[in-house]
Amino acid sequence: MRENFEPGQHISVLTPTGGGKSYLTVNGLLELPVIDHSRVLMVDDKEGRDPSTRGWGSPISEYPLSLAARVRLRERPPHYRLIAPDWTWSSTGSHTRGVEHARAVVGRALDAFYAEAEDPSDDGASEHAQASVAVVDEAYALSAPKPPSLNLGPLLVKLWRKGRYKALSLIALSQEPAWLPGEFYSQPTHLYLGRQQDGRRADRLREIGGDTPRIAAVVRELRDREFLFVGNKGRVLSIVQVGR
């Protein structure tokens, strides 16, 4: 990845809960030089409680940043972790206001981050333009149309389909393969796949393309905290193990 990742390329990470996707992202992907020197916005939907991510970046409650926040953070790298408001679901319907608020906060942040993105190699880019990286810590929680998710799938699809033209990369993590937009599988240049034992869920791996029977066979045999790295649109396959 250190030699192969370029601005505008997307990465997807798929593994069950506890499989190491947040650890891989914070201690591996976000340390790649091209990403470390980019402007980064991570959407943290765990209220800052995940020990793998809570020490990364500058925690913020909204994006774009307020004037006070811009002044407070001006000496720090533009690496922001948006703490999404809690939207705990309830069968009585009392969650509705929380869902609407969280959807507004996260949607506004991702939309603004996309609008600000510039390709620094473009002749028309501003003097201080940087590549951009959006990190979605749980794509299912943001994209699925059914509760308790936020139904922001169309916004994520826009980032997948159009981000590369603005040197904007989307790193999307998930533990739930079934309800994700097809772009989670088809748009990334690089994927990290954890073990998938459920045959119905593993069926979605066909959307990656390439030698999918081989990919599916390897994924079934992975151990805990191991990933199959599928790079360069399926031309590179290797097994990666993350720390504990």
117-147 pLDDT, tens per residue? 999 999 999 999 999 999 998 999 999 988 7
Structure tokens at 191: 């994927």
Contact (CB, 8 A) for 61 and 82: yes
CB atoms within 10 A of CB 139: 30
Which pLDDT band holds residue 214 (cuts at 50, 70, 90)?
confident
CB within 8 Å of 177: residues ≥ 6 apart: 14, 196, 201, 202, 204, 205
139-180 pLDDT, tens per residue? 999 999 887 889 999 999 999 999 999 999 999 999 888 789
Q: Which amino acid is at 54?
A: R
Which helix (H) or strand (E) segment holds residue 173: the answer is: strand 168-174
Closest CA to 141 of 128, 150, 129, 154: 150
CB atoms within 10 A of CB 103: 19
**CA–CA distance from 237 to each of 11, 183, 210, 217, 241 (Å)?**
14, 20, 11, 13, 13
CB within 8 Å of 59: residues ≥ 6 apart: 44, 48, 80, 81, 83
Which pLDDT band holds residue 197 (cuts at 50, 70, 90)?
low
Structure tokens at 203: 């069926």
Average pLDDT over residues 8-16: 94
Fold of 11-241: Rossmann fold (3.40.50)
Domain range annotation of the chain: 11-241
Q: Report residue 126 CA to chain centroid gap.
A: 26
Contact (CB, 8 A) for 166 and 132: yes
Taken as a whole, the chain contains a residue count of: 244
